[in-house]
Amino acid sequence: MTTLPNLDQNSLSSNRLYSLDALRGFDMFWIMGADEVFHTMFKATDSPFWGVLSHQFSHPEWHGFRFYDLIFPLFLFMAGVATPFSLGKEIEKGKNREQLLVKVIKRGLILAALGVVYNNGLEIKPIEEIRFGSVLARIGLGYMFANIIYLYTKKPTIQAIWFGGILVFYYLLLKFNSAPGFPAGDLSQEGNFASYMDRIIMPGRLYKGNHDPEGLTSTIPAISTGLLGILTGNYLKNDPSDGIQKTKRMAMFGALFIVLALIWNIDFPINKNLWSSSFVLMVGGISLLLLSLFYYIIDVKGYQKWSFFFRIIGMNSILIYMSGVFIDWEYSTDSVFHWLGQLLGNPFNAVAMAICYTGIKWYFLYFMYQKKVFLRV
């Protein structure tokens, strides 16, 4: 198995960003089952406090933004952050760009293939029943194209132009086009141009019939999410400023992107389903704020021990994500902890089982860590 840049354990050179492993683990923590703790607590208590948290760990039907919308793009952002450390190091060693291009394309396509397996299992199905759009495919393709741009552009300023240009292009694409029978600029699920293009060009089935949140057309702006990570990683790796100054600048740009996203939201709504340009700025801003926080605490101040829990997850993120295809975690949790649910009874048995569900996954990853077993693409 080869290494997936940033998506699992990476060779980030001597100045490795330990904060990156921790932040990746923090990100994966919520989608490996921790979010269910908030949902079950709300059901058990009917408390407004848990209700607010539960609400934030669900996706809006269409327009809008909640914390749970950040999980996916944050992962792609971090894939970009690692690029200057991993791929950049290979360039510095004098490796041929064409060889690295093949490597990048291979990784992107393998992730897309894993996404098909994750969506559809190992069962062979007719092509019309297969869903090709997936979280892993978007990460793989977004990472791939962002890294191709990185390979063939020497200056960060050119990469920044690509970042902004892609966002403007996607905005104009949806602003002045639509599905047949809808006015130009229609952004409804049925009428928007991105979903219409997916219905034409994507094989198999779309997740919502007439729309796929991980469709091919809306992968275009996801390239900018990866590019923002690359720009951030390049800044952390090559800028001579000290750690505190880097922390401040990342936080400043994070806040600026959030403000710009809210302004753009007036005309081009923040929408994860469409991966709208304003959505890219919103999640990019929050990602920068989170990375600045983790970077300051872990890499600048040196407080690393507390992050071990998250780093265990972050170093094997693809393994735990794909594990559900092969392991029935709910059955495993019930087999080991059914007595605890019976002991507590309703309504908190579901809360306990949600905590145990996450815990048993973590201990599985800890065992893999001790055995030095990592799934790398």
Give the 3-state secondary structure of 216-234: CHHHHHHHHHHHHHHHHHH
Q: Which residues does the chain have with pLDDT short of 50? A: 1-14
Let me know: does 211 contact 222? Beta carbons within 8 Å: no
The radius of gyration of the chain from alpha carbons, rounded to an integer in Å, stands at 21
Q: How many domains does the chain have?
A: 1
pLDDT of residue 175: 96
CB 224 within 8 Å of CB 144? no
Residue 352's pLDDT is: 86
The enclosing H or E element of 258 equals: helix 243-264
pTM: 0.89
Angstrom distances, CA of residue 59 to CA of 46, 54, 259, 305: 20, 11, 21, 33
Burial annotation 244-274 (CB, 10 A radius, 16+ → b, else e)? eebbebbbebbeebbebbeebbeebbbbbbb
Cα–Cα separations (whole angstroms), residue 243 to 73, 209, 240, 295:
25, 48, 9, 8
Element (H, E) at 374: none
Has residue 375 been placed in a domain?
no
**H/E element holding 323?**
none
Residue 17 has a pLDDT of 83
Q: What is the pLDDT, as a whole number, of residue 292? A: 96
- Which pLDDT score is estimated for 114? 92
Has residue 9 been placed in a domain? Answer: no
Whether residue 4 is contained in a domain is answered as no
Q: Are 78 and 230 in contact (CB under 8 A)?
A: no
In a domain, 376, yes or no: no
The domain of 320 spans 18-370
DSSP structure string for 265-309: TTTS---TTTT-HHHHHHHHHHHHHHHHHHIIIIIIS---GGGHH
Within-domain flag for 211: yes
Within a domain: 59: yes
Tell me how far CA of residue 261 lies from CA of 70, 279, 303, 327, in angstroms: 14, 7, 32, 40
Convert the pLDDT of each residue in 315-355 to its tens digit: 888 888 888 888 888 878 887 888 787 777 788 888 888 89
Per the CB < 8 A criterion, the answer to whether 12 and 82 are in contact is yes
Q: How far is CA 251 from CA 26, 246, 261, 276, in A?
A: 18, 9, 15, 22
Q: Do the domain assignments include residue 125?
A: yes
Q: Among residues 326, 306, 296, 310, which one has the least CA distance to residue 358?
A: 310
How far is Cα 87 from Cα 305, in angstroms, rounded to an integer? Answer: 28
Residue 7 lies in a domain: no
